[in-house]
Amino acid sequence: MSSTPDQQKVYIIHGYRASPGSHWFPWLRERLTEAGADVEILAMPTPQEPKLDAWITQVEAAVRDIDSHTYFVAHSLGCITTLRYLQKQNPAKPIGGIVLVSGFAKPLPELPMLDEFTQQALDDERLIRSVKRRAVIAAKDDSIVPHAYSKELAERLHADFYEVEHGGHFLESDGYTALPLVADVLAGMMAE
């Protein structure tokens, strides 16, 4: 990314079995770029068989010089990955914000192959100090990440919680090639 010092930087982190071209990620990049942000969708390694260390290493390699103008938008497995990355950063230099879509911080009953991402507890207090503004978005009818998991994550992080009646897991197969709620929540954070 080659952004000016005061330009908003947004990193989009996809989830399990996804890619930078999946779901609503390209739409969000285009919308944020039009609004003047510097946006990058990270391509996470082996998304069909994700490994925690490899995903954290990928974020560390791609993200440089985070500051109060830095924002993350993460989906599903990308949420816990982003939180694990941020937990390693200096909370004295907090980033602007995070928007976690269908996030979770405990094992998913239907996806035990992802358990390594949730084995260690998050340091909630450190994350709260490290991120100025926090939001979690979840659908009540998500069949992959239980709605209650996302709500619990929001409560733990003292994040604003946005719930949608019918959104599933916000996948392209659920009808999501755009997700205006994410763009609106992020715009609100950036305007503060």
Alpha helices in the chain (DSSP H): 25-34, 52-62, 77-87, 124-130, 147-156, 180-191
Active-site residue 150, yes or no? no
Q: Which of 51, 40, 122, 110 is nearest to 80 (CA)?
A: 122
Active-site residue 166, yes or no? no
Catalytic residue among 22, 76, 130, 150: 76
Catalytic residue among 14, 69, 75, 169: 169
* Cβ 131 vs Cβ 70: under 8 Å: no
Catalytic residue among 69, 75, 130, 142: 142
CA separation for the pair 101, 67 (Å, rounded)? 22
Q: Which of 119, 89, 91 is nearest to 106 (CA)?
A: 119
Active-site residue 142, yes or no? yes
Q: Which residues are catalytic?
A: 76, 142, 169
